[in-house]
Amino acid sequence: MSKDPFEAPPGTDTADCASKSTCGMAGKDGSGCASCSSRSGAANPFAKQDASIADTLGHIKNILFVMSGKGGVGKSSVAVNVAAALAVGGSKVGILDVDMHGPSVPNLLGLGFGLEMDEAGERLQPAEYLPNLHVISMDSLLQDKNTAILWRGPKKTAAIRQFLSDVQWGDLDFLVIDSPPGTGDEHLTILKTIPQAMSVMVTTPQEISLADVRKALNFLQHARGRILGIVENMSGLACPHCGKDIPLFKSGGGKDLAEQYHVPFLGAIALDPVTVLAADAGTPVVLMEEDSVAKRDFLALAAAVAEACAKDAAVLLPPPDEQG
């Protein structure tokens, strides 16, 4: 990469941002801050980068933004398995991991190598997992995997924008974005920079996770982000002996929530020990040779995601104040 990937563009510190009280949300004027991609052309120091991002996005058919209210509910597992399943089905797929504090995509894929420039020496080449599955993660740019990244919002925003402007993604059917838990700077940046991104909300069946998903849905309402649907992960336990369902936690909460918000329910993934084995082996469950409940569930989820994209089924929830 010609520029330092860790360097925020000048003026991107929100301390310098003239409109820091209003910027960050779609539809508001946020001139002067890098989080705000819709500034007027003349005084826009990021016009070139904006153009480069627009060019990248113009070559990507569907952008899936995997998010959740709570941490540890299976976002990264869903992102990696859906991406791998779509790739195995013949689609050209990219994975962008914007979880800078705990990037787990490289581990789930067993990727340990660095990144290279493209032939023109202008853009970064994403790591290749399969010929039609490429990956970019903050992790790939770090020399020492154990280094904690201590970044404030503006620098994260700058890095995420560079992942779109300075990476040679090429033509993609799907870009799957894995995110950190909650609704922070990374989420705002993605929704602001990629208004066409479709959120895939991952939850576990328990109320403690569902409550946080409601908050995340509320965030999407405010930020005017589209949602493709809800996924219930860790939905029942697949018995390691006979594969039968053990309702260890409750199940059905994700589906109920989807109905309540009138958003598609994309599928349920059982709690399955094979998921943990797969993670440790650095192989997505869907690429494991042996059959398993989680493998079937993830394949069905990927099919549902592809179908929802083909039908353009993503929903824009009404703003919170207009909801009945």
| Residue 205 binding ligand ATP, by CB under 6 A | no
Report the b/e string of 49-80 with b at 16+ CB within 10 A.
Answer: bbebbeebbeebebbbbbbbbbeebbbbbbbb
| Residue 62 binding Mg ion, by CB under 5 A | no
β pairing state of 315-316 and 226-238: antiparallel
Return the bridge partners of 215, or none. none
Handedness of CA 92, 305, 96, 294 (dihedral sign): negative
| Residue 239 binding Zn ion, by CB under 5 A | yes
CB of 98 to ligand ATP, least distance (A): 11
Residue 184 phi/psi, 5-degree rounding, is -115, -155
Among 104, 183, 199, 221, binds ligand ATP (CB under 6 A): 104
- Interface with ligand ATP (CB under 6 A), residue total 22
| Residue 68 binding ligand ATP, by CB under 6 A | yes
CB of 30 to Mg ion, least distance (A): 28
Among 18, 211, 276, 316, binds ligand ATP (CB under 6 A): 276
Single-letter code of the amino acid located at 109: L
CB of 168 to ligand ATP, least distance (A): 26
Cβ 172 vs Cβ 18: under 8 Å:
no
Residue 61 phi/psi, 5-degree rounding, is -75, -50
Give CA–CA dist 14/108, Å, rounded. Answer: 34
Give CA–CA dist 66/80, Å, rounded. Answer: 10
| Residue 179 binding Mg ion, by CB under 5 A | no
| Residue 248 binding Zn ion, by CB under 5 A | no
Residue number with CB closer to Zn ion (166 or 272): 272
| Residue 204 binding Mg ion, by CB under 5 A | no
271 binds, among Mg ion, Zn ion, ligand ATP, none (CB under 5 to 8 A by kind): ligand ATP
Residue number with CB closer to ligand ATP (12 or 204): 204
Residues 6+ apart with CB under 8 A from 230: 200, 201, 202, 203, 213, 254, 255, 257, 258, 261, 263, 264, 265, 266
CB of 93 to ligand ATP, least distance (A): 18
Cβ 240 vs Cβ 257: under 8 Å:
no
- Select from 148-156, 168-176, 274-282, 304-312 the region that touches ligand ATP (CB under 6 A): 274-282
Residue number with CB closer to Mg ion (17 or 301): 301
β pairing state of 265-271 and 198-203: unpaired
**CB atoms near residue 149 (< 10 Å):** 16
CB of 117 to ligand ATP, least distance (A): 29
Question: Would you mind telling me the total number of residues written for the chain in this entry?
Answer: 324
Among 24, 30, 69, 74, binds ligand ATP (CB under 6 A): 74
Among 56, 68, 76, 275, binds Mg ion (CB under 5 A): 76
DSSP 101: S
Residues of span 41-60 touching ligand ATP by CB under 6 A:
none
Interface mask toward Mg ion for 104-133; x: CB under 5 A = x-----------------------------
Cβ 3 vs Cβ 162: under 8 Å:
yes
- Rule CB under 5 A: which residues touch Mg ion? 75-76, 104
- Rule CB under 6 A: which residues touch ligand ATP? 68, 71-77, 99, 102, 104, 180-181, 233-234, 269, 271-272, 275-276, 279, 294
